Amino acid sequence: MEHELCLFKIKLQSLGALRPEAWERIMQLSQQLRITTAKNLVRRPSSLVYVAEGLLKEYDHHEREQPAIINFIGLQQCFVTRRHHQNHYLQACTPCIVYHWDGEALQKLYQDFKELKPVYESLYAEYDEQMMLRMRLLEMSVQERIDAFRLTFKSTIPYLKKTDIANYLNVSYTNLLAKL
């Protein structure tokens, strides 16, 4: 467990101050979850999740007949769950190991280690940026979308189904195959 979270520690340190006692508490409060391919991860309000291994796809089904894939969350990425994200569900594209911290645990951490609040806000910003990527892609022409996707998700593409890529890019499967 400690080895898998080593890169998470480095990520947190790159975002702000992290005292050894704060890291120790973060380790104590973490909950490891293993998710097999095609299984869902339940989102809890105000929680933080770190993907130590694997790849998740995030769906939004709100006011849609078919759920749309709105994000891919890969190795060493975090996501947070705000109230309006609770209707988004996550499904594993590959077997995953994720670490979870619930909202209550995070609140206690902030009370004891005030320096962690800006770090958490930076993680929010990273997640928001990931979410905005799809919106920016949808403003492009189909070929530009595919090219930008290829550049952005180069290491992820081998693990994705073509139908999932088409869903994310909002293009038909046949159109994607013709231009990929």
pTM: 0.93
For the chain, the structural domain boundaries read 2-131, 140-180
CATH architecture of the region 2-131:
Sandwich (2.60)
Burial group, residue 29, by CB count within 10 angstroms (0-12, 13-18, 19+): middle
Q: Among the residues of 30-160, which ranges form H helices?
A: 103-112, 116-138, 142-152
- pLDDT tens-digit profile of 38-57? 999 989 889 999 999 999 99
CA angle (50, 60, 136) in 5-degree steps: 85
Do 55 and 96 form a contact (C-beta atoms < 8 A)?
yes
Q: Residue 59 — pLDDT band, cuts 50, 70, 90?
A: very high
In 11-47 the beta strands, taken as DSSP E runs, fall at 31-35, 40-41
- pLDDT tens-digit profile of 8-30? 999 999 999 999 999 999 999 99
CA angle (120, 98, 42) in 5-degree steps: 85
Helices 116-138 and 103-112, axial angle in degrees (round to 10): 130
